[in-house]
Amino acid sequence: MTIAKVISSPKTTNSTPEKPWHHYLTIDLFLTVLNRTFLHPFIAWMLPLSLRAQATPYTHTAMKVTIAWASLLTLLYFLGLINDRIAYGMAREVDPSEEVIVVTGGASGLGALIAEVYGMRGANIAVMDARKVEEDEAEEKGIIYYECDVGDRKQVEEVGKRIEEDLGIPTILINNAGIVHGKALLDLSPEEIERTFRVNTLSHFHTLQTFLPGMLSSNRGTIVTVSSVLAHLGAANLSDYTASKAALLALHASLRAELARSSQGRNIRTLLCTPGQLSTPMFAGVKTPSSFFAPVVAPVDVAKEIIKMVDRGESGEIAIPLYTRWIEWLGVLPVGVQTILRAWSGIDVAMADGVMGNILATEGDEKRRW
């Protein structure tokens, strides 16, 4: 069956920044600059080479220091490569034109960005979302949308069969669908709790059990699990959401372990994404305690990282901004220090005020999907 795709050029709009210039100065920006200059092995070796070009003797202190610094960075670089190779194995070859990509929750937010990029590139892209997308919009974006409640096992299996018939066996699965209610624990109804876990957690089991067998038989695949930094922290008024996202951390670890023990699963790559606060409409009212240390992340930045690693055929973890990479170390600190840091971050107050304000202004559960 041949499915034609009409791909339109992205529209450009002129917009001016609404925030002061210093708002965009973050620790992540400074680290990026350092990694590409002072902390880069290649740049570091330019220093002793420049000194040597000036006939500086090897016994000179400046020469010794620069050689030692460049050698240290080079050693750390190769140790990092070895660590990644041991942890994640070799990258697999990925040709987007030969892959079938499935994105859950891809009708809006982060999932929509990922789907639209692959759609513009002419890839075989299928989106599973409870929101119905008009046929004209789907053709314009080069995406095939399937209306599906990913929390419903039967619907996932039925749509999975349709995707295989229309596009072929899926080889890239991006589990992105999620919902949030933003209520205190005692205010949550049993139906809301169950709904959160069905969409945020059980949907991953449904899609994995539906599409993983095809990947194993094809001996190739990539699975992306989108969780959240809140899975490590918990937060007031987000008990169901954070618990459902924390479950994904364990699921991802178990999936990696099972694939490593399977001869067919060794060419299947896995990615775990635990981003910080995203600048989505849902969290527009939530203020970060420090735009320097904990900047709000644009969904497009997360999408770029996911697409980059998927295209490279790599396994790994995506954690941005910088603080999300070290958040697990919070648990080794004294409980008193943890309490102080939570109070300073304002995480519990921010979620109570910001998220609740946004949700009260939103009508319908499906509009809370992100």
pLDDT at 115 over 60: yes
User: Between these two residues, 173 and 354, which has the higher pLDDT value?
Assistant: 173
Which residues, 6+ apart, have CB-to-CB distance to 338 below 8 Å?
A: 330, 331
What is the mean predicted confidence (pLDDT) over 187-213?
96
CATH superfamily of 96-368: NAD(P)-binding Rossmann-like Domain (3.40.50.720)
Rg of the chain in Å (alpha carbons): 23
Angle at 235 between CA 319 and CA 131, to 5 degrees: 70
pLDDT at 102 over 90: yes
- Where do the structural domains in the chain lie, given as residue ranges? 36-88, 96-368
| Distance, CA of 60 to CA of 51 (rounded, Å) | 10
Taking only the tens place, the pLDDT of each residue in 123-140 is 999 999 998 888 888 888
| Distance, CA of 228 to CA of 311 (rounded, Å) | 22
Global pTM reads: 0.85
Angle of the 239-261 helix axis to the 190-197 helix axis, nearest 10? 30
Active site residues: 241
pLDDT at 46 over 50: yes
Mean pLDDT for all residues in the chain: 86
The pLDDT, as a whole number, for residue 16 is: 44
Beta bridge pairs of residue 129: 147
Binning pLDDT at 50, 70 and 90, where does residue 93 land?
very high
